[in-house]
């Protein structure tokens, strides 16, 4: 199922999107919780598109990427001559640029305390003062925030203001990690693969065995990790179908642990695939087969025999 570019099949995602469609019609501040890679920015854009502000700007602020000394001037702007190197024309801040629209404070837990105090005032007063300015600029902007941190824990540590937390946490939304909605994985795989096939004019598919392994993987990097893996497999695949032999060692190793009660032939096959991947990695990282053998703790003759056994391309042997 696809809903405004969001791919899902799980009940939990359906219910969350239905809730977001309702709250999008109001200007209440929304705080989106979720692990890295779960798609918090995508959901923020969905809220904006579903709101009455959809014709206005959508401005994303990556709070983790702005140097602390530039936070205030980036968020609130500055007047002419406010500091050394400042533009003579001054500069509007990101809040001004988002006027009549929506601003997303992504990774809001990274905001320094000195800026948190000023942000609190902007939310309360709905006006912003540029650095070096004395006249308030009235704001009409919807504020969304997102974080992968536990802000209540950050409050206890003294890293986040409690009063700001309550201003942001009017409507809390928690995005479930991919491992808790595995029924969404096949649709996401198909979506990412279709985009790559369309872009590069290919017709690469993924075997059911590979999809089953992906369904059981833990995906600590969530959707972003899945997307990156699909792109990697697409690039390295020499055939029309991605097969199990091309999967990274970490997926195979986790599958091996999960299936430790499976039949011995399947376990042996998985272990051989892992060993083959480890050998290829060693050959890539060393300038000679002897150095690779030393790193692996085996004789050169043993390594040579395994290379022949697994049919490893001589391209990797330096």
What is the three-class DSSP state of 73?
A: helix
Of residues 108 and 88, more confidence is placed in 108
Ranking 99-108, 207-216, 219-228, 292-301 by mean pLDDT, the lowest is 292-301
- Topology agreement, domain 2-176 and domain 182-316: no
Domain ranges of the chain: 2-176, 182-316
Task: Give the pLDDT of residue 75.
Answer: 92
Q: How do residues 169-181 score in pLDDT, each as one tens digit? A: 999 999 999 999 9
Banded model confidence at residue 236, pLDDT cuts 50, 70, 90: confident
Fold assignment, 2-176: Rossmann fold (3.40.50)
40-71 tens-digit pLDDT: 999 999 999 999 999 999 999 999 999 888 88
Mean pLDDT, the chain, integer: 88
pLDDT tens per residue, range 243-294: 887 888 888 888 776 665 555 556 666 677 777 777 777 777 887 788 887 8
Residues in the chain: 318
Cα–Cα dist 53/61, whole Å: 18
Hey, what CATH topology would domain 182-316 get?
Answer: Helicase, Ruva Protein; domain 3 (1.10.8)
Count of helix runs (H) and strand runs (E) in the chain: 14, 13
77: enclosing H helix or E strand: strand 77-78
pLDDT in tens, 142-153: 999 999 999 999
Using the CB atoms, write b or e for 154-174: b if 16+ within 10 Å.
beeeebbbeebbebbeebebe
Q: Which residues pair with 49 in a beta bridge?
A: none
Q: Over the stretch 11-24, which tens digit does the pLDDT of each residue have? A: 999 999 999 999 99
Ramachandran area for residue 131 (φ above 0: left; ψ -120 to 50: alpha; else beta): beta
pTM for the model stands at 0.82
Specify the 3-state DSSP secondary structure of 262.
coil
**Strands, E assignment, 176-310:** 205-206, 241-242
Tens-digit pLDDT profile for residues 28-37: 999 999 999 9
What's the pLDDT at 37?
A: 96
Per-residue confidence (pLDDT) for residue 238, from 0 to 100: 80
| Alpha carbon 4 to its chain's center | 18
Mean of the pLDDT values across residues 108-129? 92
pLDDT at 315: 60
Mean pLDDT of 156-179: 97
Measure Cα distances from 29 to 37, 171, 302 in Å: 22, 6, 63
């Amino acid at each position: 199922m696809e809903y405004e570019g969001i791919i899902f099949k799980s009940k939990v995602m359906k219910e969350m999107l239905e809730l977001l469609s309702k709250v999008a019609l109001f200007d209440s501040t929304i705080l989106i919780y979720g692990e890295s890679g779960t798609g918090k920015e995508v959901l923020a854009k969905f809220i904006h598109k579903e709101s009455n502000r959809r014709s206005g700007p959508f401005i994303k602020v990556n709070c983790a990427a702005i140097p602390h000394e530039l936070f205030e001037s980036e968020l609130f702007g500055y007047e002419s001559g406010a500091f050394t190197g400042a533009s003579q024309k001054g500069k509007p801040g990101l809040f001004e640029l988002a006027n009549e629209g929506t601003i997303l404070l992504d990774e809001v837990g990274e905001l320094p305390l000195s800026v948190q105090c000023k942000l609190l005032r902007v939310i309360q007063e709905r006006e912003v003062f540029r650095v070096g300015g004395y006249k308030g600029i009235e704001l009409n902007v919807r504020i969304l925030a997102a974080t992968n941190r536990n802000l209540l824990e950050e409050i206890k540590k003294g890293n986040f203001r409690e009063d700001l937390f309550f201003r942001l946490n009017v409507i809390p939304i928690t995005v479930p990690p991919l491992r808790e909605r595995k029924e969404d994985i096949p649709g996401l795989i198909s979506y990412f693969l279709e985009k790559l096939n369309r872009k590069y004019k290919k017709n690469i598919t993924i075997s059911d065995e590979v999809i089953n392994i992906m369904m059981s993987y833990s995906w600590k990097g969530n959707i972003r990790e899945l997307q990156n893996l699909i792109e990697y497999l697409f690039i390295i695949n020499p055939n029309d179908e991605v097969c199990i032999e091309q999967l990274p060692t970490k997926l195979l190793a986790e599958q091996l642990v999960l299936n430790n009660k499976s039949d011995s032939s399947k376990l042996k096959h998985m272990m051989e695939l892992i060993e083959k991947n480890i050998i290829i990695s060693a050959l890539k990282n060393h300038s000679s087969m002897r150095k690779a053998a030393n790193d692996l703790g085996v004789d050169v003759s043993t390594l040579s025999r395994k290379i022949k056994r697994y049919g490893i391309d001589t391209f990797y042997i330096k």
